[in-house]
Amino acid sequence: MKASESRHSILWLLLAQLSAMLPLIAVLPVWIVAVWGASAWWYWRIISAGYQFPAAPIKALLAVAAVLGVYLSFASLLALEAMVAILILALILKLLELKTERDQWLVLMLSYFVIACGLLFSQQIIDVVLALLQITVLLLAQQAMNRDKTKAVIMLRSVGVMALQSLPLMLMLFVIFPRIGPLWTMPLPGGQGITGMSDSLEFGDIARLSQSGELAFRVRFEGEPPSTESLYWRGLVLDQFDGRRWTRNAWPARNKIPAPAVSAATVKYTVTLEPALHEWLYVLPMGTVDRRDVYYTTQHQWLSKRPINGRVEYEVSSQFVNGLPDGNGDERQNLQLAGGQNAQARALAAQWQENIADASDRVAAAMQFFESTPFEYTLTPSVLGPNNVDEFLFSTRQGYCEHFAGSFVFLMRAAGVPARIVLGYQGGEFNKRDNYLLVHQSDAHAWAEVWLKGQGWVRVDPTATVAPSRIRLGAEAVLKSQSGYLKDSFISLRRFEWATRLRLFVDNINYAWARWVLNFDSDTQASFLRGILGEINPQRMFIAIMLAGGIPLTLVAFFSLRLPSQKGEDLAAKYYLLSCKALARRGVQRQAGETPEQFLARVKVESPSWFDWLAMQTKLFSECSYYSQQSEAYLQNLQKLKRFRRPRKWLEQTSRRGLER
């Protein structure tokens, strides 16, 4: 390879490297770009200005410094981001020992791997589009390594053709390649960054969560969806109170019971959960989840046997009931109240306990209290001190749903009624374009459940009495005017109609992407294959693979076997003979034994009007067929020969030129 050509391919290589790592800048420390810039500059000086490759000690020093830098930036080397950072630094520093073609290949292949790593962080459709663009740059670099200096457009064309040729294979592999479970799991990135529900609750938590516009999950209903008011997406139950924080008592929470039997009158739907770090599933009570790796607990929660790591999809059949049965609802756990704070509230509850005999009447009295007191439903309530329930109920009176639910449960327990907090989401946003429900973090909600003898756990939502529109219309309707609502999210553009429509459209694509591509796990694969094959056994798989893989390969073989004969076929001669045929139709017949030059000489005498055209065609043909074969000139001549194989075309062009003149 000539120096200038190798430089051309080196430039492409550097570009490919940069494009592979650039989108990862979002999760990586910025100084990596500086390292790349310095390394690339150094390498460029090595190949263009005769600088030396660094000596081994310097390289070792750089490697140690890089690892140290990563450690300082992430405070750990075992986080996924840190590992990717080390990979990228290795890729960058490889430039300083890029001596052979094999090294260049290594850099290119590693760049592909870096692109794949980028998809660990996010797999939205936009990321995939970006990855495709990056791969295009890499493919171009790969082309540049393997051919003479060529225009990018030409390389792009051949890259495109090759990519299209490999598409069927890719699709086939996507469908039939076995989905192997992960050999190890990495703490998924974003655990810190993405807001989501945690398994404990303090006043203000949900209010904070509501300010995020992140998607929590999507739901597709079979048939008519229920009304928004009834959509209480029950997540987990908090029954342990330490005077300030609500947490869950680990033991009863995990007691398995058989899944509830749901009758025929059910709502069926599919939930697609966004990646999150928790083990509970959101279900409309009472429902059964159609999955093998989940179980049902005494608290009527659906828990996953393994932590949910990545996107999960599950099908649920739900039946709306008024009480969740539980024989032991009145055990001490559900009446437990820590410490001696919140004396005022305790006194109020003691009053109810004394005056009202029936538990359900005490609940009604509490609801009456919430209704009659002028509470303010707000995202930005005042910060509360140690007697938080008292302060909220009797002085600040500003709160979000967890304030109402929390203090309600406190009052109930103090009044001797077993009660607990339920965390989940309420409502959601319908995407009318594709008719599915989007539940965002801003729909997060906390409500209460009280245990009534004979009925079991009954849902009570004090927020509904304070701010009925929150339940009827959703959080958005109530909070739109409040300054804190969705303040850190770009969906604050919600106030514009077009923006909402655009957002829902994009979400449509993302949902389809998540449903059909990202969620194509071994279960989906098995059911898909079962749908095609009837049953999965080795013989049928073999036949399917032969059909799916054999047909494309046969086509490829057919075309590649055909190609030599096509090459053997002299295209120049073909077009020249077509030209002669065209002329024969106009009355000048070429004899088989006539050479092109002889024919041209005869035409000059017999029908001079065609002479100019035939002279051009003869010249092009001679250049293609008899002169030395210069690849590019040959192709150009051939193109021209083909274009003007009929004199009409040529006449049109010359007459046009004549007119222009």
Which residues are marked as active site? 401, 445, 461
- Structural contact between residues 632 and 610, judged by C-beta atoms closer than 8 angstroms: no
Q: From the CB of 597, what's the least distance to another protein, in Å?
A: 5
Task: Give 353-362's long-range contacts (Cβ < 8 A, gap of 24+).
Answer: 353/414, 353/415, 353/416, 359/416, 359/417, 359/450, 359/452, 359/453, 360/452, 362/412, 362/415, 362/416, 362/417
d(CA 527, CA 536): 9
User: With b meaning 16 or more CB within 10 Å and e meaning fewer, what string describes 268-285?
Assistant: ebbbbbbbbbbbbbbbbb
Q: Is 293 in a helix, a strand, or coil?
A: coil
| Pairing label, strands 246-247, 267-273 | unpaired
Q: Which lies closer to another protein via its Cβ, residue 469 or residue 629?
A: 629
CA 28-33-34 angle, to 5 degrees, is: 130
Q: From the CB of 600, what's the least distance to another protein, in Å?
A: 11
Nearest to 1 by CA among 147, 152, 150, 151: 147
CA atoms within 13 A on the CB side of 618: 19
Q: From the CB of 592, what's the least distance to another protein, in Å?
A: 4
Q: Which lies closer to another protein via its Cβ, residue 241 or residue 576?
A: 576
d(CA 150, CA 129): 26
Q: From the CB of 148, what's the least distance to another protein, in Å?
A: 22
Instruction: Say which residues have a Cβ less than 8 Å from residue 458's Cβ, sequence separation at least 6.
Output: 322, 323, 449, 450, 451, 452
Q: From the CB of 577, what's the least distance to another protein, in Å?
A: 6
Q: Which lies closer to another protein via its Cβ, residue 344 or residue 622?
A: 622
Q: Which lies closer to another protein via its Cβ, residue 330 or residue 594?
A: 594
- Structural contact between residues 382 and 204, judged by C-beta atoms closer than 8 angstroms: no
Q: From the CB of 529, what's the least distance to another protein, in Å?
A: 51
Q: From the CB of 568, what's the least distance to another protein, in Å?
A: 9
d(CA 302, CA 283): 8
Q: Which lies closer to another protein via its Cβ, residue 100 or residue 591?
A: 591
d(CA 344, CA 586): 111
Could you give phi then psi for residue 311, rounded to 5 degrees? -75, 135
Q: Which lies closer to another protein via its Cβ, residue 494 or residue 645?
A: 645
d(CA 218, CA 443): 12
DSSP 18-48: HHHHGGGGGTS-THHHHHHHHHHHHHHHHHH
Please, which residues bridge with residue 377 across strands? Answer: 399
Q: Which lies closer to another protein via its Cβ, residue 589 or residue 595?
A: 595
| Pairing label, strands 376-377, 398-399 | parallel
Q: Is 536 in a helix, a strand, or coil?
A: coil
CA atoms within 13 A on the CB side of 178: 5
- Structural contact between residues 270 and 524, judged by C-beta atoms closer than 8 angstroms: no
The identity of residue 321, as a single letter, is V
Which tokens hold the place of 1?
A: 């390879």
Q: From the CB of 624, what's the least distance to another protein, in Å?
A: 9
d(CA 278, CA 521): 20
Q: Which lies closer to another protein via its Cβ, residue 62 or residue 580?
A: 580
Q: From the CB of 539, what's the least distance to another protein, in Å?
A: 50
d(CA 366, CA 466): 12
**Other beta carbons less than 10 A from residue 533's beta carbon:** 14
Instruction: Kindly compute the dihedral angle of the four CA atoms of residues 155, 157, 162, 163, in this order, to the nearest 10 degrees.
Output: 110
Q: From the CB of 538, what's the least distance to another protein, in Å?
A: 51
Q: From the CB of 622, what's the least distance to another protein, in Å?
A: 7
- Structural contact between residues 396 and 381, judged by C-beta atoms closer than 8 angstroms: yes
Q: How far is CA 484 from the centre of its chain?
A: 28
Q: Which lies closer to another protein via its Cβ, residue 400 or residue 610?
A: 610
Q: Which lies closer to another protein via its Cβ, residue 15 or residue 577?
A: 577
Which tokens hold the place of 75?
A: 């405070």
Q: Which lies closer to another protein via its Cβ, residue 174 or residue 627?
A: 627
Q: Which lies closer to another protein via its Cβ, residue 166 or residue 630?
A: 630
d(CA 320, CA 266): 8
Q: From the CB of 647, what's the least distance to another protein, in Å?
A: 18
Name the site residues for another protein (rule: CB under 8 A): 570, 572-573, 576-577, 580, 591-598, 621-622, 625-629
